[in-house]
Structure 1
Amino acid sequence: HCQQHIQNFLGQKVKRVLFIPYALHDRDAYARTAREKFESLGYGLDSIHESRDPVEAIRKSEAIFIGGGNTFRLLKALYDNSLIHEIRKRVLEDGVPYMGSSAGTNVATVSINTTNDMPIVYPPSLKALGLVPFNINPHYLDPDIKRTHMGETREERIRQYHEEPNTPPVLGLREGTMLLVEGDKATLQGVTGARLFLRGKKPTEHEPGTDFSFLLTDSNPLNP
């Protein structure tokens, strides 16, 4: 559902995409799958795990795509390969397009505190790339009163996160939804909508097309 969005985002200038497959164990298979998809869209793809120098690969990249999988495994690998600063610089200072799916979306935010994944490995910090000044919960699920599952709902877990001091907004992205950030503008795209959680406030529903640009400012008045 996102092929046209990818082409619109990357445009004509980007010829090759640098793929970061660290979130899955079988990086070769993951890279093959990603390469087939991007080549079908007209882009070449290089996987960073095939590079002898990951830092140099980031510095030469035209666009960066981080795929989904386990967020803890992904973030640990980014730290282990000294890529946090390099990706931040490439995206925020050089303007290189960044795309993230699932875990790749989590690491683009302030921290991975609102991931859905199990901590199968331990990164040196939960602090992530910080490309945007808020957190995202991918694959957001609404409470289902018909289910027999008695565990916490996603909303309850996010509320627990916001019980801690100085926690940023959390945007719950449902399947089929994406957030487009270009400069100082952030727009919700897709088909299913999102749920926004602000510390100390009731969550709010937002339809595709919503302007979330206010979340990009550090002076966001809705974030106490």
Structure 2
Amino acid sequence: MELLLLSNSTTFGRKFLEHALEPISEILNGSNEVLFVPFALADHAGYTAEAAEALTPLGVTVIGAHVGDPVDLAQKAKAIFIGGGNSFRLLKELHGKELTRIIRDRVRGGVPYIGSSAGTNMACPTLRTTNDMPIVEPPTFGALNLVPFQINPHYVERSLDSSHMGETRSKRLEEFLEENDVPVVAVREGTWLRRSSGRLTLGGSEAGGVLFRRGSPPEELSQNADLSELLEAPARFDLREAYHLS
């Protein structure tokens, strides 16, 4: 599989997707057409137009999945890009429009997949490590299951001089591991995960990421870290319960 899983779409001081144009160009590998899935935001047309403008330097034509039959568009797509926004709304739309199985099969069959934020969450086995508010209720938390581990985009630690006493992001991820024996890769702003065939690497800014595993302390991940071993770990979710797919 060819995956590019971005932590975020916009990096401070740069335009939408500007920081990721090089890896996007790499994964597209000459393809001049991308199906953009805008369902994480309410303004589908506006979001697709923003993506189209951002990818103009690459000479890529962007087709919105909201225009026409999304199933037909997904079946014909040369590459698929699922944008960020609210992950609960996005997953509900993917299931409601019967896109989950089609996208999963196409990507497993070789179609390049780009995800950003919520779109990156969709590549996981389930939605359970998102940061979003559940503004809607999807029929299941089962996502695309393109990687056998979980991802937490936009990962941040609490500042040492902060007076905030609520739960930190790391605490929430540790709670996830109390209930689920599945690794979680937390990716900081400006970083991404790149899967090409059997190799998985952490790219982007020097901020890197953090690997959380049950029974082990959090492990700092540096830029260009090789995480290919995570592709061998089976996801330990009950997929029959998670997906409810025929």
How many pairs are equivalent?
216
Aligned: 1:171 with 2:188? no
Identify unmatched segments of 5+ residues in structure 1.
none
Matched residue, 2:241: none
SS at match of 1:2: helix
Residue identity opposite 2:81 in structure 1:
F
Larger relative contact order (C-alpha < 8 A, sep ≥ 6)? 2
Residue identity opposite 1:48 in structure 2:
A
Aligned: 1:57 with 2:73? yes
Matched residue, 1:102: 117
Matched residue, 1:202: 217
List, as ranges, runs of 4+ consecutive aligned residues in structure 1 with deviation greater than 6 Å: none
Q: Alpha-carbon deviation of 1:219?
A: 5.6
Q: Deviations over 1:170-193 (max 9, x none)?
A: 000000110000111101101110
Residue identity opposite 2:190 in structure 1:
G
Matched residue, 1:189: 203
Matched residue, 2:159: 144
The normalised TM-score by structure 1 is 0.94
Aligned: 1:212 with 2:227? yes
Aligned: 1:113 with 2:113? no
Matched residue, 1:6: 24
SS at match of 1:49: coil
Residue identity opposite 1:175 in structure 2:
E
Q: 1:32 aligns with which of 31, 49, 55?
A: 49
- Measure the CA separation in 2 of the matches of 1:76 and 1:58: 17
The normalised TM-score by structure 2 is 0.86
Q: Alpha-carbon deviation of 1:39?
A: 2.1
- Measure the CA separation in 1 of the matches of 2:58 and 2:167: 40
Q: Deviations over 1:183-216 (max 9, x none)?
A: 1110110111010001121110011111100000
Matched residue, 2:103: 87
Aligned: 1:69 with 2:85? yes
SS at match of 1:33: helix
Q: Alpha-carbon deviation of 1:56?
A: 1.0
SS at match of 1:189: strand
Residue pair 2:40, 2:87 contacting (<8 A) in 1 also: yes
Q: Alpha-carbon deviation of 1:46?
A: 0.1
Q: Alpha-carbon deviation of 1:143?
A: 2.5
- Measure the CA separation in 1 of the matches of 2:59 and 2:214: 42
Once the two structures are overlaid, the 10-residue window that deviates more, 209-218 or 98-107, is: 209-218
Sequence identity percentage: 48
Once the two structures are overlaid, the 10-residue window that deviates more, 142-151 or 116-125, is: 142-151
